[in-house]
Amino acid sequence: MTFPHHRHAAHCESGVVSNLVCHHGVPITEAMAFGLSAALSFAYLPFIKLSGLPLIAYRQPPRSIIRGLGKVLEAEFRFETFRNPAAGQARLDELLAQGHVVGLQTSVYWLPYFPEDMRFHFNAHNLLVYGKEGNDYLISDPVGEQTVRCDAASLSRARFAKGVLAPRGLLYTMQKPGVSTITPRVARKAILKTCRTMLAPLPIIGVRGIKMLANRVVRLDPAAHRSSLFVGHIIRMQEEIGTGGAGFRFLYAAFLQEVASLSGMEMLSGFSDRLMLIGDGWRAFALATARMVKGRDALNPVTLADLLRDLSRQEEVFFRDLKTALN
Amino acid sequence: MDLQNVPQEGNKTLGGYRKAVYARDAGGHIVVAASNGWEVEEIVTSQAVEEMRSLAETARQNAINGLSSTLEYWMYARRMDLLLLAQSTGIWRWRIRRHFRPEIFARLSPGMLKRYAEALGLAVQQLQRLP
């Protein structure tokens, strides 16, 4: 059994949802799914800890891509969570038997096909199940180039992992494919929403969140082991956790370029180029940080904070201009 | 990032996987490209993995020397921390901390051991031993 709509994607949620929508006959790219759901963001959440380190997100919270895209396309997704693993597995089997392709939220740690070094307790991973053979589920995990298999016991454990963002067995199916053409109007609305998020008057969100993170970084003690872990963690959130590079900035630039081909949206092509350059700035920040983590350069919180402040300024100007251009 | 700058540096931590990144081709179109890794990612991932390995190793030495129970070792070996183990088992943190004391861990009821073993994906006999 094969799944013809498996496509390699940068990010699990946008990858899963675009593949699922394609499966239902609406051809859509990952970048389009990401952009239309207004998923680009930045959030520095010091009160949510992952292994003792603050949550730093370059995108909107889990499930918002699926929900957001559903709204824009007027498609209908159905979400179900379960109290116990047995019920969760029974429902999954039932849906597969009815011929559904089913989306799941899982932990990364308990998925045996993941590379050993990538298995962390991160609970907001997404994948599609398209069949079952014997005791194995057939899985389209968009972070891989090929489809994979996973035994029932491991999958069940991954679905019912506990902790921050616990999936509680979450599964989702597409009930009704919505509209199949993307109009300039919906694209404009989605972009303005992202501008609003990035320019939000809240200290921990958007360009202000980046600035706040810079203020945190500048206070790090260069001699402490913990400081190196902290800055390394920022880069993991930015580059390692499936972002398509530069904390989703390249992915969003791809979206802007795609929208630029719609009528009346030609000016977005220039914005796409500008965001690619800002993305290169994020990559330079990642490189500078990694050199310090590795000990090639001495850990210098001031340098890193300056790079972050500069990125915050660049993004502030970028999203201001973008907003003006669309209004 | 341009297509020819997409890193292909053979990142060990990817375990043979290639990841999708977005880059600009010669015609200026942004396309998906498969990258077999960037050293920057390898450095930060190895750092996180190494940190967890060293926590587990310290806990292992403590268990050998009778300073801590095997439970603490297995918690770190499973890449968890106290908070996550508490959330996974439904046992309060102060109680788990108490169970890190070898003499108290040795007297735990079979039911309690089973809760820990299940959360850590182990058999009860494994939980009571070091690998």
Q: What is the pLDDT of residues A80-138, one digit of tens each?
A: 999 999 999 999 999 999 999 999 999 999 999 998 888 988 888 999 999 999 999 99
What residue in A sits closest to B84 (Cα-Cα)? A163
What is the per-residue DSSP string for B52-102? HHHHHHHHHHHHHTTSS-HHHHHHHHTT--HHHHHHHHT--HHHHHHHTSH
Which of B31, B34, B49 comes nearest A117 by C-beta?
Answer: B49
Chain B residues within 8 Å of chain A (Cβ atoms): 1, 12-24, 28-32, 34, 38-41, 43-49, 51-52, 78-81, 83-84, 87-88, 119, 121
Q: Tell me what pLDDT residue A48 has.
A: 86
Inter-CA distances, B103 with B70, B82, B90, B100, Å = 11, 19, 22, 9
CATH fold of the domain at A12-176:
Cathepsin B; Chain A (3.90.70)
pLDDT, mean of residues A143-147: 92
The answer to whether residues B58 and B92 belong to one domain is: yes
Name chain B contacts of A53, Cβ cutoff 8 Å: none
Residue B64: CATH number of its domain: 1.10.260
Hey, are the CB atoms on A233 and B44 less than 8 Å from each other? Answer: yes
Q: pLDDT per residue over A173-191, tens digit each?
A: 999 888 888 899 999 999 9
For chain B, percent of residues with pLDDT exceeding 90: 81
The residue extents of the domains of chain A are: 12-176, 184-326
The answer to whether residues B32 and B61 belong to one domain is: no
Hey, are the CB atoms on A245 and B1 less than 8 Å from each other? Answer: yes
Q: Report the domain count for chain B.
A: 2
The answer to whether residues B104 and B87 belong to one domain is: yes
Q: Tell me what pLDDT residue A209 has.
A: 95
The answer to whether residues B32 and B75 belong to one domain is: no
The answer to whether residues B51 and B115 belong to one domain is: yes
The answer to whether residues B118 and B88 belong to one domain is: yes
Which of B29, B40, B49 comes nearest A235 by C-beta?
Answer: B40
Give A76→chain B minimum CA distance, Å: 28
A259 interfacial to chain B (CB closer than 8 Å): no
Residues 110-139 of A with CB under 8 A from B: 110, 114-121
Hey, are the CB atoms on A49 and B43 less than 8 Å from each other? Answer: no
Give A190→chain B minimum CA distance, Å: 20
Name chain B contacts of A232, Cβ cutoff 8 Å: 43-44, 47-48
Range of the domain at B28: 3-37
Q: pLDDT per residue over A272-316, tens digit each?
A: 999 999 999 999 999 999 999 998 999 999 999 999 999 999 999
Hey, are the CB atoms on B20 and A143 less than 8 Å from each other? Answer: yes
The answer to whether residues B70 and B49 belong to one domain is: yes
Q: Tell me what pLDDT residue A241 has.
A: 77
The answer to whether residues B66 and B121 belong to one domain is: yes
CA distance B78 to B76: 5
A162 interfacial to chain B (CB closer than 8 Å): yes
